[in-house]
Amino acid sequence: MEYKEAKQKFIDAWGILGSSWGINKTMAQIHALLLISPEALTTEEIMDELNISRGNASMNVRALIDWGIVYKELKAGERKDYFTSEKDIWELAKHVLIERRKRELEPLFRVLGQIDDVVGENKAQVKELTSKVKEIETFASKTDKLLNRISSADSNWFFNKLIKMIK
């Protein structure tokens, strides 16, 4: 397979995968392009490569920077902004875990914390609600602890633990 075809297949596949993870396809495709590019790219190069508008490119690059997986790179004597992706896959995964925790688990904890001292006429409904809230809190808390361990670990520790669990 020629490089150009393989590159396009990777970018397309990463875009579909990103959609499954809850980010938009273009954002994932920009990330894929930056991930496999040996040099930092300008907004114009991203636009040309993916055939997208300046606004679309700028908005998605900013979102990737917010996720902590894309960085602005300065080049001496250049006025354009250049962008590159985190290349270490383990570090990339940790950044995504941290961001997903912030965007998904923290709001869940806030809401569950507000559901306290539930009262009502139907005792069975109150009991079921409070029971499920407690179960979700327990699950989310254990998930949070696991994510904290993974995000603070190095790849060798994680994969050694994973292999032990599989055996």
Instruction: Report whether pLDDT(82) > 90.
Output: yes
Instruction: Report whether pLDDT(38) > 90.
Output: yes
User: Do residues 77 and 104 lie in contact, with contact meaning Cβ atoms separated by under 8 Å?
Assistant: no
pLDDT class for 101, splitting at 50, 70, 90?
confident
Instruction: Report whether pLDDT(45) > 90.
Output: yes
pLDDT of residue 41: 96
Question: 83: which strand partners?
Answer: 41, 72
Position with higher pLDDT, 104 vs 85 = 85
Poorest-pLDDT segment among 1-10, 12-21, 141-150: 141-150
Average pLDDT in the 132-144 region?
88
Report pTM.
0.75
Instruction: Report whether pLDDT(123) > 90.
Output: no
* Bridging pattern class, strands 41-42 and 82-85: antiparallel
Average pLDDT over all residues of the chain: 87
Instruction: Report whether pLDDT(135) > 70.
Output: yes
Query: CA dihedral in degrees (86, 92, 94, 98; nearest 10)?
Result: 80
Angle at 105 between CA 104 and CA 106, to 5 degrees: 100
Alpha helices in the chain (DSSP H): 3-20, 25-36, 43-50, 54-67, 89-100, 106-114, 123-152, 155-166
CB-based burial, 16-50: b 16+ in 10 Å, e otherwise: eebeeeebeebbbbbbbbbbebeebbebebbbebb
pLDDT of residue 161: 63
Alpha carbon distances (Å) from 167 to 10, 147, 154, 155: 32, 22, 21, 18
